[in-house]
Structure 1
Amino acid sequence: MAGPAPSRRTPRKSPSSSQPPALIHSDNSYLQRILNAKVYEVAIETPLDQARNLSKRLGNKVFLKREDQQPVFSFKLRGAYNKMAHLSPEARAQGVICASAGNHAQGVALSAKRLGCRAVIVMPVTTPKVKIDAVQALGGEVVLHGDSFTDAYGRALELEREQGLTFVHPFDDPDVIAGQGTIALEILRQHPGPIDAIFVAIGGGGLISGVAAYIKAVRPEIKIIGVQTKDSDAMARSVKAGKRVQLADVGLFSDGTAVKLVGEETFRITKALVDDFVIVDTDAVCAAIKDVFEDTRSILEPAGGLGVAAIKQYAAQTGAKGQTFVAITCGANMNFDRLRFVAERAEVGEQREALFAVTIPEERGSFLRFCELLGPRSVTEFNYRIADAESAHIFVGVSIQKREEAAKLAKLFVKNGFPTLDLTDNELAKQHLRHMVGGRGEQARHERLYSFTFPERPGALMRFLSSMHPDWNISLFHYRNQGADYGRILVGIEVPRGDSAALRSFLDSLQYPYQDESQNPVYKLFLR
């Protein structure tokens, strides 16, 4: 599903190569800072890999700058180490402090370990244990305080003053910005040929500031395009307004870019040097994570997928063909429990799944007639429960090739007497409703409940339905494609008394493994 169009503004005229932008902080230019950055004592030069499958699909060359392969699986290590390496011996001896619940915390902790200095990391009490353990394993002293980053940040500033520590900002610091800028230096060294645009995720702005500062000084013809999610777009709004805009709330899916207020210095650099912005949505990011996995077998965190999502959206909206794009895959610290959500939404993000609410008359044969309309299409989800004597509502997911197919399918259903709502873009349906369809079947008489294991191949469902006795009615049906070779289906069948022998014959003829769930206590509690 394509997100909203990129925010547009008058493109900044790129300076000629003989006149690099005058980005001076005190007495040093950012170009000099980047060339002299101290990052390789702890960071690695990450590969620039071509995403061959995605490139072929888009008709453009797409390269991935693999910052997800850093020792802490994030680019944050570069800026943190560069900042700390430039501290005086006295300041390092006193120690450093930061506030973070994610990648910056690990970058500071590892940098401190390599430099032999103390690192205090203030994290919200809500931080997952796996992240706390990761920081402690690197030698960081974890202080848990407050329920949010803002609370942790305030406490970190207090400890900075009380203990004489040096605060290592996650993005709004010249040395941090310069450390991130070494990514751009590597990109140009690894790919000296033409590059049309580099797509960079934006949280507070440290990464894009460093990349833009170097690229525009050396190869100003290359576009720098910032990427944000539509619920965490503080930088795009700030540039449009001409001043820093603070968001009241930010989305938490892409937690690595969930920043309410961008930095002063990062705003100044971004406003001066970034060519454009692309705003992407959650589904597009999930689809991008899947794209990268299919090309690399690596799983990115949401922030790491922003650049790829933006390239896909940019190419679709501009019609770009034959161009060369680079996405910085900036992190891979993915929470394992988030993978289910990503897989669920990736199909919609790729515009390969359409969701519908369909009303069918409660009469024998209507369910089969509806399924026949689906034809050979792959069904991704099917939720149905008999509701009353006249009609029933079905929640169905169908694999499609293009978004336009959803509207055509909806018209087909309506034409054949099945009122239909297209839910493909309905956030409530995608997030909640699909897991809540069902309930008690007050009208289901003589119902028997069975769970089946179906082979995931075209025609399996129709084989099941066409084998049923004409006097039996399906009163419940639940199926969700989980991407395995076999799918699991739950079916309620109304079988008149005295048809037990015919039912056993039917079940055996299917040759599908099945289990009688009619006495399952969960069935009695929630479905009867």
Structure 2
Amino acid sequence: MEAQKTPTSTQQDQDLALSYLRRIMMAPVYDIAKETELSFLPKISTQLNNDVYLKREDQQPVHSFKLRGAYNKLQGLTPEQRQHGVIAASAGNHAQGLALAAKSLGVQATIVMPITTPEIKVNNVRHFGAEVRLIGKSFNEAQQACLEFVEQEQKTFVPPFDDPDVIVGQGTVGKEILQQLADVDAIFVPVGGGGLLAGIAVYVKQIAPQVKVIGVEAEDSACLKAAFDAGKPVDLDNVGLFADGVAVKRIGEQTFDLINKYCDDVITVTSDEICAAIKETFEQTRVIAEPAGALSLAGINKYCQNSPGNEKLVAILSGANMNFHSLRYVSERCELGEQKEAVFSVTIPEQKGSFRRFCQALGGRVITEFNYRFSDANQANIFVGIRLSEGAQERRELIATLEANDYQVQDLTDNELAKLHVRYMIGGTSQNTTQERLFSFEFPEYPGALENFLNTLGELWNISLFHYRNHGSAFGQVLAGFEVNDNEQQEFFEHLQDLGYEWAEETDNPAYQAFLNHR
């Protein structure tokens, strides 16, 4: 979608932009940060018919660009502020960047983290010399405690993105790109709260206004797109968990003001497309990008579907602090993101030879997954993955071929419930759950989360289905079924609200109806 542009630039706007330009050019970040490499990606460039480069912010001492903004903020502190120390609420790269920046300047840093924060992140922050306070079951609770400490202990709060000093520090990435590739055509920037995009956009548009600056967001945490649609920053109802480095519910006020004036466009990408970009990055550089770090390359992949070609495009690998346990998820989903695999629900006759005849209808294509359990004397539903060589067009042609052979086909390639839960539960149909309602939940990873769930719901309604998955994040993904009578629905939903977890009803999801529901 096109970014909404301010019709005219006032003198005040021009003065502010020039101020940012001067400050970015003079920012003292190189006392601690590196000027990172701009790596050419030959294989991807050939595939996309464009010259694609990767700005390697994974090479920073904390493996993320966040060090730049944090250090620039701390450099501007008064002696009194340095004496009292700095504080932030973060469970990610901002915490590590601030911890190292503070250590290098002899300033005591305090990081407030939710108790759900994985231990590896806590230990990394402590390694850089910061004090860690584990408070609250969510980021919002940690943030509230952080602000209370600011008042009580007179510490300086260091925001992760919505601060002029932080924006200036992040903007040095844009300065380096123009120095390293003067004839760049477009720069693709990952977006969470907008600090990196704001800093790069305001700098680049003063020096080289012809260069396109394009933000890239995760589809399930697209707070910038929501702000463009509304004309101002707005809160998202919820955000996805996979790309946790950009899982922000609301774009910053100051960052949005700059982005609205100087950003050309914003692209959204799916989790599967991010996984594909992580794989591509690894194959080209042997670096494992974190999901937020691979956003930009995923954005370039989508941009090139309709680009003229022969452009010089830069993706910013913003971070490489990947949780090891997330790699399984990436491996499962990358071929879907590359459109090299399709996932279908197909109804076949329950008779001898049906599977062989179905394979023949595929025309020699490779089956990547096949799930089936007997449940009906006349017909069977199979959950099948099929390898593709020509992407979405081949998927559509395959569906048409199967339907021409009298198969009932449902395309589940873009069905998150099917890919996250149902594929592991084939054959779980119950004959007794005629009033089952299905819900997905985000479970916080702290002791007592399951007990809280059972105390709120499990003591009052029979749990007829339960499936849990976690890939190393602060939240797990849960699918649960409940037997709820018609006269109990109001009471049930009141208890759902009291639970305090993110949830969504999935009873009508076609993957559930095909494989798990009583038919």
TM-score (normalised: structure 2): 0.79
Residue identity in the other structure for 1:348 = L
- Alignment match of 2:278 (pick from 256, 279, 289): 289
Residue identity in the other structure for 1:376 = G
Matched with 2:188 is 199
Contact (CA 8 Å) 1:11, 1:276: kept in 2 or not? no
What is the CA–CA distance in structure 1 between the aligned matches of 2:429 and 2:212, rounded to whole Å?
57
For the residue of structure 2 that corresponds to 1:389, the secondary structure is coil
Aligned residues: 429
Matched with 1:189 is 179
What is the CA–CA distance in structure 1 between the aligned matches of 2:166 and 2:260, rounded to whole Å?
18
Residue identity in the other structure for 1:156 = C
Contact (CA 8 Å) 1:14, 1:220: kept in 2 or not? no
Give runs of aligned pairs for residues 122-201 of structure 1, distance below 5 A: 122-192=112-182, 194-201=183-190
Report deviation, 1:12: 6.5
Once the two structures are overlaid, the 10-residue window that deviates more, 411-420 or 31-40, is 411-420
Residue identity in the other structure for 2:423 = R
Matched with 1:369 is 357
Matched with 1:399 is 387
What is the CA–CA distance in structure 2 between the aligned matches of 1:387 and 1:348, rounded to whole Å?
28
Matched with 2:198 is 209
Instruction: Indicate how the Cα distance of structure 1 residues 188 and 252 shifts in structure 2: closer, same or farther if over 3 A, else same.
Output: same
Once the two structures are overlaid, the 10-residue window that deviates more, 424-433 or 67-76, is 424-433
Give runs of aligned pairs for residues 450-489 of structure 1, distance below 5 A: none
Report deviation, 1:9: 4.6
- Please give the per-residue CA displacement for 1:233-291, whole angstroms capped at 9, x wherever unaligned: 22222233222212221112111111112222111111111111111111111111111
Matched with 2:2 is 8
Give runs of aligned pairs for residues 12-161 of structure 1, distance below 5 A: 22-24=14-16, 29-161=19-151
Report deviation, 1:114: 0.8
Report deviation, 1:391: 2.1
For the residue of structure 1 that corresponds to 2:29, the secondary structure is coil
Matched with 1:261 is 250
Contact (CA 8 Å) 1:79, 1:179: kept in 2 or not? yes
Structure with the higher helix share, 1 or 2: 2
Contact (CA 8 Å) 2:3, 2:263: kept in 1 or not? no
What is the CA–CA distance in structure 2 between the aligned matches of 1:98 and 1:269, rounded to whole Å?
23
Verify: 1:350 aligned to 2:338, yes or no. Answer: yes
Q: Greater Rg, structure 1 or structure 2?
A: 1
Verify: 1:279 aligned to 2:268, yes or no. Answer: yes
For the residue of structure 1 that corresponds to 2:237, the secondary structure is coil
Verify: 1:381 aligned to 2:381, yes or no. Answer: no
- Please give the per-residue CA displacement for 1:147-195, whole angstroms capped at 9, x wherever unaligned: 2221111111111111111111111111111110111111111112x21
Matched with 1:471 is none
Contact (CA 8 Å) 1:62, 1:327: kept in 2 or not? yes
Instruction: Indicate how the Cα distance of structure 1 residues 283 and 291 shifts in structure 2: closer, same or farther if over 3 A, else same.
Output: same
Verify: 1:270 aligned to 2:264, yes or no. Answer: no
Contact (CA 8 Å) 1:386, 1:441: kept in 2 or not? no
For the residue of structure 1 that corresponds to 2:372, the secondary structure is strand
Residue identity in the other structure for 2:122 = I
Q: Percent identity at matched positions?
A: 52
Report deviation, 1:38: 1.4
For the residue of structure 1 that corresponds to 2:236, the secondary structure is coil
Q: Give me the CA root mean square deviation.
A: 2.1
- Alignment match of 1:228 (pick from 186, 210, 217): 217
- Please give the per-residue CA displacement for 1:337-370, whole angstroms capped at 9, x wherever unaligned: 1111111111111111011112222222222222
What is the CA–CA distance in structure 2 between the aligned matches of 1:349 and 1:68, rounded to whole Å?
23
Residue identity in the other structure for 2:214 = I
Contact (CA 8 Å) 1:385, 1:441: kept in 2 or not? no
Once the two structures are overlaid, the 10-residue window that deviates more, 164-173 or 430-439, is 430-439
Instruction: Indicate how the Cα distance of structure 1 residues 20 and 51 shifts in structure 2: closer, same or farther if over 3 A, else same.
Output: farther
For the residue of structure 2 that corresponds to 1:188, the secondary structure is helix
For the residue of structure 1 that corresponds to 2:221, the secondary structure is coil
Report deviation, 1:11: 5.7
Contact (CA 8 Å) 1:20, 1:218: kept in 2 or not? no
What is the CA–CA distance in structure 2 between the aligned matches of 1:13 and 1:435, rounded to whole Å?
52
Report deviation, 1:426: 2.2
What is the CA–CA distance in structure 2 between the aligned matches of 1:370 and 1:235, rounded to whole Å?
45
Report deviation, 1:107: 0.4
What is the CA–CA distance in structure 2 between the aligned matches of 1:416 and 1:370, rounded to whole Å?
9
TM-score (normalised: structure 1): 0.78
Report deviation, 1:8: 2.5
For the residue of structure 2 that corresponds to 1:249, the secondary structure is coil
For the residue of structure 1 that corresponds to 2:361, the secondary structure is helix
Matched with 2:516 is none
For the residue of structure 1 that corresponds to 2:31, the secondary structure is coil
- Alignment match of 2:316 (pick from 328, 332, 344): 328
Contact (CA 8 Å) 2:4, 2:260: kept in 1 or not? no
What is the CA–CA distance in structure 2 between the aligned matches of 1:243 and 1:363, rounded to whole Å?
59
- Please give the per-residue CA displacement for 1:373-411, whole angstroms capped at 9, x wherever unaligned: 334322211112222332222111111122121222223
Residue identity in the other structure for 1:128 = P
Matched with 1:460 is none
Report deviation, 1:20: 12
What is the CA–CA distance in structure 2 between the aligned matches of 1:314 and 1:13, rounded to whole Å?
26
Instruction: Indicate how the Cα distance of structure 1 residues 293 and 20 shifts in structure 2: closer, same or farther if over 3 A, else same.
Output: farther
What is the CA–CA distance in structure 2 between the aligned matches of 1:282 and 1:30, rounded to whole Å?
34
For the residue of structure 1 that corresponds to 2:71, the secondary structure is helix
Matched with 2:399 is 410
Contact (CA 8 Å) 1:81, 1:111: kept in 2 or not? yes
Instruction: Indicate how the Cα distance of structure 1 residues 21 and 294 shifts in structure 2: closer, same or farther if over 3 A, else same.
Output: farther
Report deviation, 1:66: 0.7
Once the two structures are overlaid, the 10-residue window that deviates more, 286-295 or 371-380, is 371-380
Report deviation, 1:221: 0.8
Verify: 1:248 aligned to 2:240, yes or no. Answer: no
What is the CA–CA distance in structure 1 between the aligned matches of 2:417 and 2:48, rounded to whole Å?
30
For the residue of structure 2 that corresponds to 1:29, the secondary structure is helix
Residue identity in the other structure for 1:103 = N
Residue identity in the other structure for 2:168 = A
